[in-house]
Structure 1
Amino acid sequence: MMLLGHLLLLFGSFSFALGAFVGINIGTDLSTLPSPEQVVAILRSHRITHVRLFDADNHLLSALSDTEIEVMVSVTNEEVLRIGQSPSAAAFWINKNVAAFVPATNITAIAVGSEVLSTIPNAAPVLVPAMKNLHKALVAASLNYPVKVSTPMSMDIIPKPFPPSTATFNSSWNSTVSEILNFLRTTNSFFMLNAYPYYGYVQTNGIFPIEYALFQPLTPVKQIVDPNTLFHYDSMFDAMVDATYNSISAYNNLVIPIVVTETGWPGAGGANERDATVENAETFNNNLIKRVLNNSGPPSQPTVPINTYIYELFNEDNKPDPPSEKSYGVYFSNGSSVYTFSMDTLGDNMAKNASGGFCVARKGANKSSLQDGLNWACGPGQANCSAVQPGQPCYMPDTVENHASYAYNDYYQRMRSVGGTCDFSGTAVTTMVDPSYGSCIFTGSTNSSIGGMVTPSLGPEGPPGNISPGQVPDIWYLFLGAVVLLLV
């Protein structure tokens, strides 16, 4: 049994190194919200593998079935009180919003409330009971291993995040934070952190350079160094995560992996929000993706990747002021990008090296050139473009890039055997990743049913300790087999 314990510890540690992911938050406070099926089509078309919902919308959970997308559902702040006071209410919530959908919908985590300690401190006494009640309900449903429970915390509960080495949680929350950390440790869950360098930069009134907030290179005179550890911080994002690790460590030297459940940069703002611009949002999010997908942690925990969810999928125009609160979206409701933006960096790298498979539009290609390529493919190229016509399965998202991808691929599959190429004046690339999504099946796909898209073999994995069954590496089947032999 001691051997088994060591092996399970090793397995848990190894799971952190399988690869970082970048997911996205899906808010619904907008006037023209696409249907659940359209939302999923947008996710699939952009190869988004992880999403966080701010509630447990049953229609969207149904639409996400059979997609393999990892889903974090949320208990709203309004629900925390009832669930914290009633185990039966927690059991009902789990049965209705989790057990009813798994395994078809790949639910891997439950976020209990959102920044409860910062926004509704009076509910703090029931927060941990709510987490425990939900976990007990998961145990009763035999879902406590694949589905983890945690609660998103704001950076507001760390009064002095810099230098990171001396950061601690607000002492007024000592008892509650201690209970939360003990719960996360005993259930092998992770710490959920909402970390916004935008607010960190604005609130410090120019103490830190904006390059530091945007993941941009710092000149020697602007280097940010922790005077106690001499760790160099290339980004405020890393420093925020490290401040949280050090705050956690203050409780019995605990090391609990952190997942950043929210971060982002607004693309617009009011008159006094001059740094909320499309250019800064584009820079922040694209650099964030590169940072997270380099698969490393912050200076204090360099081997623990910083799995992260970008806030957010769409602009939520119904949110109250300030204007920046309405402007975090990275896609319009028709699926087109607000700015040049790619969630699938790994997929793009695969495409550059692929010699066959599928032909799709190159991310960031000039729209006019894409339109020319689309017109040629559907005209002289004789591609069958009926699927991208209004009302047809590949029409949404209604973007030139999406339509061009379908047309380019149809032409390529028909003509490559007689010399047809995937170039289209440099606006196309080949990929081994099946770009099919929802009921939109690309020519050449082996998938004949809805939602049969092949997951990229190099794609990001789930939150630490939350490997989906289809993501367990072959080596672990051999490893677990060896464990059985040793125990017998």
Structure 2
Amino acid sequence: MTLKIWLQAILLICGVFFKASGAFVGINIGTDVSNLPSAVDIVGILKAQQITHVRLFDADAHMLNALSNTGIEVMVSVTNEEVLGIGELPSTAAAWVNKNVAAYVPSTNITAIAVGSEVLTSIPHAAPILVPAMNNLYKALLASNLNYQVKISTPHSMDIIPRSFPPSTATFNATSNSTIFQILQFLKNTKSYYMLNAYPYYEYVKSNGIFPLEYALFKPLPPVKQIVDPNTLFHYNSMFDALVDAAYNSIAALNFSGIPIVVTETGWPSFGGSKEPDATAENAETYNSNLIRRVSNDSGPPSQPTIPINTYIYELFNEDKRPGPVSERNWGVLFTNGTAVYDVSLSDSDSLGANSSTAFCIARPGADESSLRDGLNWACGPGQANCAAIQKGQPCYSPNTVQNHASYAYNDYYQKMRSSGGTCDFGGTASLTTADPSYGSCRFIGSGNSSMGGLFPPAALGPIGPSSGSSTSIVLRFGRVVAVVALLVLLDLNLRNIL
């Protein structure tokens, strides 16, 4: 075997031993946006919000490069337009994997490929080619020795389940059964997961008042409004759980089990037209805040209580260039300058600004790079910020961008000088946030109880993140070391036998 393959094996084993437990909340990043920030600025926003998982609707090279060395788990996507070619020719699939996955790992943490988006309902004529496309991509991953690191699946809308309530009787659309059976067989064989786009907003609107709004928003229901499956007597506290259970029961109806569900899209629009009265910022804030709390408790729906529901919120920014109703352009949780559309934290900590006592000074996303460089030089010079952590080889050096380094220097200056009048301005290139921008082993001053920025890993404030030195972390690190040592011993033995 080649050195590259051995290194990939080592990385895989380290990942298996060191992977954090618990459900995560990720984010979808759409690009139909006027004045879309640069890839580097978007990654800066992700880090500031402690987002650990992202889903891209394509495999944009700028984003994949910017996500390098961040540790953020990335789901890349084959567009619907690409599915046909990949399904027809294995060589096309191999070229796609080589260009969009193998070229970036392991520095960019790509962990999944979403093949198309709601293909069975949005382009049903392509259904016969969907499973061949998934198979061709898997064979390409296998050839690159990436089949264990990168999972393959395809996102489905709830429309392929004609009647989702009661969940216990839910089944897939009979006309799609053959394709869905093949998809489930593929997921089972490759130990992958079912990708579900679940939108209580749409289901609530379609129900015409049958279900209460509180049920769609994760709000407590009074006794007279309890939602109960009459067959199982399971109580459903949220429509979200009922939709996930409807998918689990549809899978079971085709005699499959052990295939976990990941919700690849969910959310709530913050603004709508005159005929969309429930698309409000208040409802969007309520839905996403409660969703994050729900997912973070690490439990599954009533029929699968031990399987956490990993979830991606739709979406990071308002895609103002999208066609359709007004609500279609208002699903974003942040404006493109990184400020919140409404009061919500994308980690499992308390809502942004509501219960936070610490403010961090970071470089403003989209700020002029020349001005940021001037601010960085001033902070590390006359401003007397301690910039040792952003030097090459130190914890906060990567990603090596002006945006990232300026954020660290600005915050170091601000935390030390604010009591004596220091401000977070830097010529308009800085802004305050209550989201801890710490990442990986880079700790910003003001984070937790630390006063030594950049020297300690952050506490696990996000959906998934490394521990700040607990006994669990030590055990995981020890296991990681043992795994590497064991592999190296095996390598040495194999080489001795060969020689």
When normalised by structure 1's length, the TM-score is: 0.77
Structure 1 position 306 matched with structure 2 position 312? no
Cα deviation, residue 18, structure 1: 2.0
CA distance in 1: counterparts of 2:475 and 2:89, whole angstroms: 36
Q: Does 1:393 align with 2:396?
A: no
Q: Residues 168-190 of structure 1: CA distance to partner in whole angstroms, max 9, x if unpaired? A: 00010111000000000000000
Is 1:473 the counterpart of 2:448? The answer is no
Take 1:472 and 1:335, find their aligned partners in 2: how far apart are those partners? Answer: 37
Q: 1:251 to 1:48 in 2, by over 3 A?
A: same
Distance 1:148 1:212 in 2: 33
Aligned twin of 1:202: 205
User: Equivalent pairs: percent with the same residue?
Assistant: 58
Describe the SS at the equivalent of 1:328: coil
1:257 alignment partner in structure 2: 260
What TM-score results when the alignment is normalised by the length of structure 2?
A: 0.75
Q: Does 1:140 align with 2:148?
A: no
Using the alignment, how far apart are the partners of 2:140 and 2:20 within structure 1?
A: 30
Q: Counterpart in 2 of 1:445?
A: 453
Are 1:360 and 2:370 counterparts?
no
Q: Which amino acid aligns with 1:188?
A: K
Q: The residue matched to 1:259 in structure 2 has which SS?
A: strand
| Partners of 1:269 and 1:326 in 2: CA distance | 9
Measure, in 1, the Cα distance between the counterparts of 2:187 and 2:84. 20
AA at the equivalent of 2:110? I
Aligned to 1:151: 154
User: Paired residue for 1:287?
Assistant: 290
Equivalent residue in structure 2 for 1:174, among 168, 174, 177: 177
Q: Contact 1:360–1:408 (CA<8 Å) still a contact in 2?
A: no
Give the drift of 1:141: 0.2
Residue identity opposite 1:98 in structure 2: V
Q: What are the within-5 Å matches in structure 2 for residues 414-453 of structure 1?
A: 435=438, 444-446=452-454
Task: Measure how far apart 1:479 and its partner are.
Answer: 9.4
> Against the structure 1 CA distance between its residues 89 and 394, is the aligned structure 2 distance closer, same or farther, given a 3 Å change threshold?
closer
Letter in 1 for 2:147: N
The residue that corresponds to 2:368 in the other structure is none
2:60 aligned with 1:57: yes
| 1:75 maps to which of 50, 67, 78 | 78
Structure 2: give runs of 5+ residues left out of the alignment: 1-15, 362-377, 388-400, 422-431, 446-450, 466-472, 494-499
CA distance in 1, matches of 2:474, 2:97: 24
Tell me if structure 1 keeps the 8 A contact 2:348–2:461. Answer: no
After superposition, the Cα gap between the structure-2 partners of 1:247 and 1:312, relative to the gap in structure 1 and judged at 3 Å, is: same
Residue 410 of structure 1 corresponds to which residue in structure 2?
416
Gapped regions of structure 1 (runs ≥ 5): 1-12, 363-377, 416-426, 448-452, 463-469
The equivalent residue for 1:316 is: 319
Q: Which one of the candidate residues 47, 61, 65 is aligned to 1:44?
A: 47
Distance 1:293 1:59, change over 3 A: same
- Counterpart for residue 112 of structure 2: 109
Moved more, 437-446 or 87-96: 437-446
Give the corresponding residue for 2:246.
243
Cα distance in 2 for residues equivalent to 1:435 and 1:31: 29
Of the candidates 100, 109, 113, which is equivalent to residue 103 of structure 2?
A: 100
Alpha-carbon contact 1:94-1:137 (below 8 Å) kept: yes
Alpha-carbon displacement from aligned partner over 1:384-439 (angstroms, at most 9, x marks no partner): 6899xxx9736999xxxx99966553348999xxxxxxxxxxx998x9x7626999
Which position in structure 2 is the counterpart of 1:331? 334
Paired amino acid for 1:263: T
Whole-angstrom CA distance in 2 between matches of 1:328 and 1:249? 32
Distance of 2:410 and 2:163 partners within structure 1: 50
Q: 1:183/1:200 Cα in 2 relative to 1: closer, same or farther (>3 Å)?
A: same
Q: Is the 8 A contact 1:108 1:147 kept in 2?
A: yes
Whether the 8 Å contact between 2:348 and 2:463 is mirrored in structure 1 is no
Q: 1:332 to 1:235 in 2, by over 3 A?
A: same
1:152 positional shift: 0.2
**C-alpha contact (below 8 Å) 1:23/1:309 kept by paired residues:** yes
Which residue of structure 2 aligns with residue 185 of structure 1? 188
Three-state SS of the structure 1 residue aligned to 2:333 is coil
- Counterpart Cα distance in 2 of 1:383 and 1:254: 60
Provide the rounded CA distance (Å) in 1 between the counterparts of 2:93 and 2:198.
28
